[in-house]
Structure 1
Amino acid sequence: MSKIYDCSTDTGRAQGIRAAADAAKSGRLVVLPTDTVYGIGCDAFDNDAVARLLATKRRGPDMPVPVLIGSWDTIQGLVLDYTEQARTLVEAFWPGGLSIVVPQAPSLPWNLGDTRGTVMLRMPMHPIAIELLREVGPMAVSSANISGKPAPVTAVEAKQQLGAAVNVYLDGGQATIGTPSTIVDISGHTPRILREGAVATERLAEVLDIAPDILLNRPPAEGGGGQA
């Protein structure tokens, strides 16, 4: 049975976090608020739960599930090498609307889809999400929508799409940004943006000290070397 927990009160929030943590730890799916949009999540290390998450979204393993974490320190145990570039992005944009694709630690026993040795990580700027992540640990979280449909910005919108497939819905109010995260891939020689979103390309280029056109993998603008 699905239930929406109103997290606008201390009591509702405590009950909701407890119910969501219990559900995630027992292999079930939960919906949680983030700063960008609402997400559907589960324990990242529960491969059966991740498979259910993908099935609920009607999405295949060719679109791997991102992982949300609750602190800066957590990333160091999940990546092959915590590079200076990764550290720069974490310190500039986490918590916040930037997802980072990096080579994953080879010993991790998870199956997030066809990741090809990488993992997409983000630390959201939402107190309810952070509290849940610190209870559960790393969670596989994707936008709480059926693939191809709009990403929800409220718990009610998420339940309208996902219904009883999710056990616990945490209602943290309307998502403040309402736009999915920006995704930057730093697993190769040159950083590149895979999806434009909540973090502006120009701001990301400034932090990485790289031309926006290079980040977007397109030829530089005529006569200007790509800088705008």
Structure 2
Amino acid sequence: MDPLDQAAACIREGKVVAFPTETVYGLGANALDPMAAARIFELKERPAFDPLIVHIADLSQLQLLTPSKDPRLTRLAEAFWPGPLTVVVPKTERVPDLVTSGLPTVGVRMPDHPMAQELIRRSGCPIAAPSANKFGRISPTAAQHVTRHMPEVDFVLDGGETRVGIESTIIALRPDGYVILRPGAITREDLNRILPESASPVAAGSPEAPGMLASHYSPAKPFHLFTPTLLQRLDPSKCGFISYRGNAPQGFARVLTLAPDGDLKAYAAGIFGAMHQLEASGVECLVAEPVPEQGIGIAIMDRLRKAAHEHGLPG
């Protein structure tokens, strides 16, 4: 049987499938089936307060998920879908409360990956899918990352390495514009060409969208952001270094250079893969070089700071 047909059959049976998107691999199940959604939370060991993103392949599926007729959603879809943008909108009663962690809203996006889109079409339903990794750990950007860390997944679709490499930008609509809940490849500058940014602050408390916790994306080994004083407290000969442009300090056991030409998109595409590679190697800790906080660099630094939150030393 064709792998896509096998995967779609699993989705229809209430099982969980790991599949590629342009951002990272997702751990997907029927978004309208609460038992299937519960299986995602179980496999990921994900807390119930952290909502899931729902993926669609066609704009007609929006009516299953939201009653919203907000013209701004149409403008955003025309500009950025399919693509790495998730929009938080009011949910319909058909969306299980478990999927939205009890919130009256749901995050929706249309992935820009032919295999993801075809899986949704063949399954005949929107697919709820967080990243296909244990909660809080490194997001997977290749099928082997999933099979190494989550062998219990019912089916894994191999679509090669992902193109964008970090999770989607998540925004919520406010009366006066939009707010960014999680930065990603779609930047503030991109969004400002379509809508004004809201002056409303992002509410504190329970997360309104995935990826809003202080600690996330962490390797199992200690992970640090590089600072000039870090080498006074670490033995670099036992550490791996993820370099932006190749300007790595001397003495590190392994150095992976992701963007020798300074392309921040290349760094974003490779950062999680580099973390997986070093985590599986013999090094005792991981160190990453910070990047300029401009454009997609804002999203990269968001991921690096959250990855370092669990183990990182103060700068």
Q: TM-score range by the shorter chain?
A: 0.7 to 0.9
1:116-135 alignment, distance < 5 Å: 116-135=103-122
Contact (CA 8 Å) 1:205, 1:215: kept in 2 or not? no
Q: SS at 2:157's partner residue?
A: strand
1:15-30 alignment, distance < 5 Å: 15-30=2-17
One-letter amino acid of the counterpart of residue 168, structure 1: F
Contact (CA 8 Å) 2:174, 2:200: kept in 1 or not? no
TM-score of the pair, normalised by structure 2: 0.60
Of 124, 138, 141, the residue aligned with 2:129 is: 141
1:34-183 alignment, distance < 5 Å: 34-105=21-92, 107-108=93-94, 110-111=96-97, 112-136=99-123, 137-164=125-152, 166-183=153-170
Partner residue, 1:31: 18
Contact (CA 8 Å) 2:20, 2:158: kept in 1 or not? yes
Unaligned runs of 5+ in 1: 1-13, 218-228
Which deviations, in whole Å up to 9, do the C-alpha atoms of 1:89-117 show, x marking residues without a partner?
Answer: 11110000000000012x31523142421
Contact (CA 8 Å) 2:100, 2:106: kept in 1 or not? no
In structure 2, C-alpha distance between the alignment counterparts of 1:140 and 1:125, rounded to whole Å? 16
Which deviations, in whole Å up to 9, do the C-alpha atoms of 1:101-160 show, x marking residues without a partner?
Answer: 00012x315231424211100000000000010111101111111111111100110111
Q: CA RMSD in A?
A: 1.8
Contact (CA 8 Å) 1:102, 1:187: kept in 2 or not? no
Deviation at 1:61, TM superposition (A): 1.5
In structure 1, C-alpha distance between the alignment counterparts of 2:15 and 2:105, rounded to whole Å? 25
Q: SS at 1:171's partner residue?
A: coil
One-letter amino acid of the counterpart of residue 135, structure 2: S
In structure 2, C-alpha distance between the alignment counterparts of 1:33 and 1:174, rounded to whole Å? 8
Distance 1:44 1:99, change over 3 A: same
Deviation at 1:76, TM superposition (A): 2.8
Higher relative contact order (CA 8 A, sep 6+): 1
Q: SS at 2:106's partner residue?
A: strand
Distance 1:147 1:188, change over 3 A: farther
One-letter amino acid of the counterpart of residue 15, structure 2: R
Of 168, 172, 176, the residue aligned with 1:185 is: 172
